[in-house]
Chain A
Amino acid sequence: MKKNINLVNVFALLSLLAVGGGTAVLPQMKYETVTLHQWLSAVQFTDFYSLGQLSPGPNMNMVALIGYKVSGFTGALLVLIAFYLPSCTFAFTIGKIWDHFEGSPWRDAVQRGMAPITVGLMLSGVYAIGRTATFNLDHSNRHNLTTVAITLIVTLILLIRHVNPALLILAGGIVGWFALRLI
């Protein structure tokens, strides 16, 4: 019961803190679930995140796996509701009244002001996952070399060409399987 309440508290707060998308809350999510509550390890967190990238739809559905690990199906369901309901309610309300602020100079100020914060937080999310997935001090040099190469090549391809990211994620998995299974 206590665990369920904690789950709902953690993910409902994260829902409202996700300015500019899910990547922004990855550092705090990792901190709360791995370091603070110790519901899972850092490697499991990154693995769950990878599983989320392999599935369709919003890329943060992996929160359900954290909920499941902590308290089964109830946990998964509670986490999904806690993570989506607050922000969706907020979006619904703002969507209704948004046109009322059409053309307000303050609305532009909010958008312009929040943009660099959003990008900074997204970068934090990249860093939080990257420290485990791309450059992990617990891994061998060869392992890190491979994962850094995969990350950089995927980044470059996406910056240069318009490729379906799903294909690159799959390709990353295949390269990882070939190069990393014997290390």
Chain B
Amino acid sequence: MPEREAARREGCFRFAQKQHPGGSLRTGKRVVNELPPPAVRLAKIFWVFLYIGATSFGGGLVAYLREHLVDRQRWLDEDQFLASLEIGETVPGLISTNVSVIVGSRLGGIRGAIAAAAGIIVPGAIAVFGLGLFYAHFKGNPEVAAGLSGVGAAAVGLILAVTLQIGHRELAFGSDLAILASAFLLVGVWHISLVPVLVVLAPIAIWANRPAPAELEAYHARQAAFHAQLAAHHGELARDKANAKGPAAS
């Protein structure tokens, strides 16, 4: 069974390499689901994510995930991790749990996704609970309140630094700044609910970044070429199969 699995992976990989050396079938860019994932036991998925969930102090969970999933376990390569991160950043929810779910589902389907999410969430939830009991017990204690004020102020510094870093990396145009300021004023200052803000702002922002007609045309042409290539490949496979059967039967 493992040999057949290895052969299947090798076959898929060779096809991918033949079409687009070092990249995706379609564009040569990063992909997530293209190569079959390594076979990992469900319990192993859970334990690795549980370990990450229990040791990742101080935010920056994505860096911990990368270290364990890419460097230590070698479940994904760098590009696959970046592709998972891209999805995790685009869909709503916490980036860390999103990436865990995506990687978990790649490794073990829906059960892998559940194992990964539970593993990453449970240790922190228990820890925060313990701290909460401690907090309730020392309610009104000025020393604890003072320490917690310092922690709160430092936490603001942490999210401010992260925001500035992302802003510096992602934003290039003046129009971006207008959208950024609108989001900040509407939600942060005027306390307007996120639902109407996103319903109005998101389409405007996406439309402002819409692809040029030429770009869209080129994309559709690439898609058509890819599907033609894929059909040819399947035809080839079918012929090979028929040829392999032929001599054996006679």
Q: Which residues of A contact B (CB under 8 A)?
A: 13, 15-25, 27-28, 31, 46-62, 64-65, 68, 76, 80, 84, 86-88, 90-92, 94-96, 98-99, 102-106, 108-130, 132-134, 143, 146-148, 150-155, 158-159, 164-177, 179-181, 183
Flag if A150 contacts B157 (CB, 8 Å): yes
How far is A179 from B216 in the complex, measured between Cα atoms in Å?
60
Choose from A126, A146, A153 the contact partner of B163 (Cβ within 8 Å).
A126
Other than the given A53-B58, A87-B93, 10 more pairs (CB < 8 A) read: A21-B95, A58-B61, A64-B132, A84-B94, A91-B97, A95-B84, A120-B183, A127-B189, A154-B157, A165-B59
Closest 5 CB pairs of A and B: A176-B150, A87-B93, A57-B124, A172-B154, A166-B58
User: How many B residues face the partner with a CB closer than 8 A?
Assistant: 107
Q: How far is the CB of B11 from chain A (nearest CB, A)?
A: 18
Q: How far is the CB of B111 from chain A (nearest CB, A)?
A: 11
Q: Which residues of B contact A (CB under 8 A)?
A: 24, 26-27, 29, 31-34, 53-61, 83-84, 86-98, 101-102, 105-106, 110, 113, 117, 120-121, 123-125, 127-129, 131-132, 135, 142-143, 145-167, 170-171, 176-177, 179-184, 187-189, 191, 193-195, 198, 201-202, 205-212, 215-216, 219, 222
How far is A130 from B181 in the complex, measured between Cα atoms in Å?
18
- Residues A94 and B91 in contact in the complex (CB < 8 Å), given A147-B149, A176-B147: yes
